[in-house]
Amino acid sequence: KITKLYNYSNSLMRKLPKEPEQWADRQTILLFRLMDEVSETNFSSLRTIVEQAEQLEIDLAGSRQSDRDVGYELSNMKRSLLTFLNAVWATHDTVRNVKFGDPDMLTDDDDILEKFEVILGRLDRQIQMAENVMEIISTGVTIIQAETTNKLTKLIVWLTVAATAVLVPNTIATIFGIPDLQISWTWIIPILILSTLFSVIVTYRWTNQFRVNPFRSKKFKNLRKKFRAK
């Protein structure tokens, strides 16, 4: 390729600008093309993070059972997203400094500098999409915490029910075991059974109300719609 370019070197040199002022315009346009290509490439990295976030969102919303460590995936995704945001913000600051600065090697032509507004707008959209993904990651952490709380609450419910089923009839049997308390067995057995069933049902219904189901919350559904709209 270098040999072929050498064959056209004379024509290429004649087309280069001869005035120093024209070099500034060419260099600014070249810098714009480079930054524009960088901002376009950012979408590829962001698309990968977005696809991972969407898949994780579907898995969490569908309560898919798997052996993978979702917390570890959320941590890696958050780290990648923070790295992406730092890079995009750095690019955003660079483009803004080029547009509003006055370096010696760049042009002062407003028409050429206005092209950098396209890059700034694209970077702003990337930052907004990355922040939306960050909200989904935060919601995923909340879901995992709520799911863990549900498991612990379920364990507490059944332990409470089991303790009630043991303690209530034991207490009643202790009362009926008092000496000189003349009560027929035809009354003792039904009272033990009914009191145990009643206490177990009441305990289960009262403790079960503390369970949390985050997958049907309005906040999570609204966040899904907001992200898909982007």
CATH number, domain of 49, equals: 1.20.58.340
Is the pLDDT assigned to residue 225 strictly greater than 60?
no
Asked if residue 7 is part of any domain, the answer here is: no
Higher pLDDT, 12 or 218: 12
The string of pLDDT tens digits covering residues 42-97 is 888 888 887 877 777 677 666 555 555 667 777 788 888 888 888 888 888 888 88
Largest separation between any pair of C-alpha atoms in the chain: 124
Q: Domain of 35?
A: 22-229
Is the pLDDT assigned to residue 132 strictly greater than 80?
yes
Asked if residue 2 is part of any domain, the answer here is: no
Asked if residue 8 is part of any domain, the answer here is: no
Rounded Cα gap, residues 171 and 175, in angstroms? 6
Helices 116-176 and 218-229, packing angle to 10 deg? 160
Cβ atoms of 89 and 169 closer than 8 Å: no
Residue 20, helix vs strand vs coil: helix
Residue linked to tokens 């923070």: 82
Asked if residue 177 is part of any domain, the answer here is: yes
Asked if residue 6 is part of any domain, the answer here is: no
Asked if residue 66 is part of any domain, the answer here is: yes
Q: Is the pTM higher than 0.85?
A: no
- Number of other CB atoms surrounding residue 173 within 10 Å: 12
Residue 54, helix vs strand vs coil: helix
Domains in the chain, number: 1
Is the pLDDT assigned to residue 1 strictly greater than 60?
no
Asked if residue 79 is part of any domain, the answer here is: yes
Cβ atoms of 49 and 80 closer than 8 Å: yes
Asked if residue 65 is part of any domain, the answer here is: yes
DSSP 8-state assignment for residue 65: -
Residue 178 tokens read as: 């008092």
